[in-house]
């Protein structure tokens, strides 16, 4: 059994499999996941687990080069936007329209579905390399 890090075997497996510039997404419970993209559903009920709690754990276990967010989060969900910025720190942020965001999900290695029930609480994490 693992001592530290993500215990969810599907999430841990996807993170271990990812290479430089690969994508993984963390989304709210309403985000449409394209056919053919791995769905990792960790939702229990509305709000559980929260988007931020899942993002915190994934960010601790992943080298992130860039994040992609829907432009609409700025107006529609500034609370979650601020949480994202606190969690990821100085990582490059790219904003796209929500429709483009959904199109980019087709290239994701997986989408983690949370119990989050607030608008635009979705993020694409672009993997970096761990060459210290």
Active-site residue, selected from the candidate residues 20, 39, 74, 92: 20
98 is catalytic: no
**Strand order, beta sheet including 38-41:** 38-41, 110-113, 23-27, 123-127, 64-70, 92-96
Give the separation between CA 63 and CA 79, rounded to whole angstroms: 24
| Contacting residues for 98 by C-beta, under 8 A, at least 6 apart | 70, 71, 72, 120
- Tokens linked to 81: 């936007």
**Which DSSP helix (H) or strand (E) runs through 12?**
helix 9-17
Give the separation between CA 112 and CA 69, rounded to whole angstroms: 15
List active site positions.
Answer: 20
């Amino acid at each position: 059994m693992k001592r530290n890090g993500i215990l969810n075997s599907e999430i841990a497996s996807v993170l271990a499999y990812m290479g430089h510039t690969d994508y993984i997404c963390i989304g709210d419970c309403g985000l449409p996941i394209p056919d053919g993209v791995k769905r990792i559903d960790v939702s229990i009920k509305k709000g559980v687990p929260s988007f931020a709690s899942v993002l915190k754990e994934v960010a601790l276990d992943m080298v992130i080069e860039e994040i992609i967010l829907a432009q609409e989060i700025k107006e529609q969900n500034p609370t979650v936007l601020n949480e994202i910025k606190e969690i990821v720190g100085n990582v490059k942020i790219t904003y796209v329209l929500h429709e483009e965001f959904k199109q980019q999900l087709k290239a994701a290695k997986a989408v983690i579905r949370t119990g989050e029930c607030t608008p635009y609480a979705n993020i694409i994490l672009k993997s970096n390399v761990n060459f210290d």
